[in-house]
């Protein structure tokens, strides 16, 4: 597992893409799949945007966007499971990674609020 968060969020997005690609071709699976595809692949984009932040407030805002996408991803994964579209065992690792990334983002947000960024001029 990549240790760098940029790599980790990219790996997460690739796993979401593979999940979507493997979904059945039913309308329900495709609608839920597009939702998880959108939310799961934007986590890394928010993380990268946060590193271009010009202020602590902007940094926190971008990370909060990523956190919202992670919460949404967890919801869509849960629906894919509960609707019996994807077997629970196949989603377990992805759901775990979603929880771990959520915890990391929460920690980053808390730390940023306690220790503001130094903006280079």
Q: What would the pLDDT profile of 47-60 be if each residue is shown by its tens digit?
A: 999 989 999 999 99
* Tokens 């690739």 belong to residue: 14
118 alpha-carbon distance from chain centroid: 26
Domains in the chain (CATH in brackets) are 5-114 (1.20.1440.60)
Q: At what angle do helices 56-82 and 27-50 cross, to 10 degrees?
A: 160
Would you say residue 116 has pLDDT above 70?
Answer: no
pTM given for the model: 0.89
C-alpha span between 4 and 39 (Å, rounded):
20
pLDDT given for residue 47 in this prediction: 96
């Amino acid at each position: 597992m990549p240790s760098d968060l940029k790599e980790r969020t990219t790996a997460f997005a690739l796993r979401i893409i593979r999940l979507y690609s493997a979904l059945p071709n039913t309308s329900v699976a495709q609608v839920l799949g597009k939702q998880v595809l959108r939310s799961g692949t934007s986590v890394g984009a928010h993380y990268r945007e946060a590193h271009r932040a010009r202020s602590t407030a902007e940094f926190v805002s971008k990370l909060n966007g990523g956190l919202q996408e992670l919460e949404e991803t967890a919801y869509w994964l849960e629906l894919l499971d509960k609707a019996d579209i994807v077997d629970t065992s196949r989603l377990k690792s992805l759901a775990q990674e979603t929880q771990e990334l959520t915890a990391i983002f929460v920690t980053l947000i808390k730390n940023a609020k306690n220790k503001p960024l130094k903006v280079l001029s």
